[in-house]
Structure 1
Amino acid sequence: MDIVGWILISILFLLGYLSFIYPVLPGILFVIAGLFLYGFWFSFAPFGIVYWVLQASIVALIFLADWAATYFGVKKWGGSKAAINGSLIGMLIGPFVIPAVGLFVGPFAGAVIGELIVHRGPFLKALKIGVGSLLGFIAGSLAKFVLQTIMIVLLFVWIFI
């Protein structure tokens, strides 16, 4: 039965990483589910308050990184709220519209379209804002990847050390 438990936990962790390809998936929720599944399947005994405070802090950082990277990526390059919203919409639908590259095209195109619709400004400025959105998205995704990995590593550290 231990093998079944580890397989299920591994599947949840992999689904957490799949959210980097399909951002509409709640990746962090899969990782949290994997942590709790370990506790329910095996034992919560190795984990104390320090462990759970660390994990909760990392979850908060993930949400902050996700929002801040897109926001500052667009704002730094002169984008408006419309560009931020367009980028977020593009991030969600891009991977489904263009499966291979939509993950990168979506935030870029969404920011450009959002900026052009609202401000009807120069096209080159909208492209610049789209680049900022894409860079912010990539930075946020990288931060989330690292933080989710730290969460999983902490599980193993608490179990085996």
Structure 2
Amino acid sequence: MDIILFIIGILFCITGIVGSFVPIIPGPMSSWVGILVLNFSESVEFNYRFLIITFIIAAFVSALDYIIPIIGVKKLGGSKGGLIGASIGLIIGLIIMGPIGLLFGPFIGAISGEMINKKTLKESFKPALGSLVGILIGSGIKFCLSIIYLFFFLNIFWTYKDNFF
């Protein structure tokens, strides 16, 4: 049974890494579930404190992923229209274009929102670029955390490897 939990856990960790770039998969949270599953193994000593801390970090990073693109629009001179456009573009882009829509939806939405607020295409481009940079930064943070969680998973397994076999 412990080997099955290990396999399920490693699959969740790998899914978390993929989820760092695919919006419908919760990246860091999936990786955290992998660590949680491994902790349910009889071969591993259950560590509540570690699990709580890593859960809080994963939840925080997941929340940041929605906030960072909006901050990017604001920092690069976006108006309220640009912020709303980026948010709407995120949702519509995801629905229409799937995962690639996460990248282009907020960008197009921010441009549209800025142009509705009477800005030119050239003036709208800078805040839209902020949303794109924000998305890339958010994905990078999620990827790094998912890799760290995979390292934690493998470290826990390695520590208790003799109990598995």
Matching residue of 1:8? 8
Alignment of 1:4-153 (within 5 A): 4-43=4-43, 45=45, 47=47, 49=49, 51-63=50-62, 65-95=64-94, 97-98=96-97, 101-117=100-116, 119-153=117-151
Are the structure 2 counterparts of residues 100 and 24 from structure 1 closer, same or farther at C-alpha, using a change threshold of 3 Å?
A: closer
Over residues 34-68 of structure 1, what are the superposed CA-to-partner deviations in whole Å (9 max), with x where a residue is unaligned? 2221122445515252x235413422541353244
Would you say the 8 A contact 2:29–2:55 is kept in 1? no
Report the Cα distance in structure 2 between the residues aligned to 1:115 and 1:154, rounded to whole angstroms: 43
| Residues 94-150 of structure 1 deviation map (CA, whole Å, 9 limit, x = unaligned) | 355335843422221122123333x13222121211111101110111011111221
Aligned residues: 159
Cα distance change on mapping 1:63 and 1:44 into 2, 3 Å = same
Gapped runs of 5+ residues in structure 2?
A: 160-165
Contact 1:58 1:151 in 2 (8 A): no
Contact map agreement 2:23 2:99 (CA 8 A) in 1: no
- TM-score by length of structure 1 reads 0.78
Question: Which ranges in structure 1 are unaligned for 5 or more consecutive residues?
Answer: none
Can you list the C-alpha shifts for 1:7-40, whole angstroms capped at 9, x where unaligned? 3222222322332343133233322222221122
Q: What residue in structure 2 maps to residue 155 of structure 1?
A: 153
Give the match's secondary structure for 2:40. Answer: helix
C-alpha spacing 1:21/1:155, structure 2 compared with 1 (3 Å): closer
Q: 1:158 to 1:15 in 2, by over 3 A?
A: closer
Aligned partners of 2:61 and 2:142 also within 8 Å: yes
TM-score, scaled to structure 2: 0.76
- Percent identity (aligned): 30
Which letter maps to 2:113?
A: G
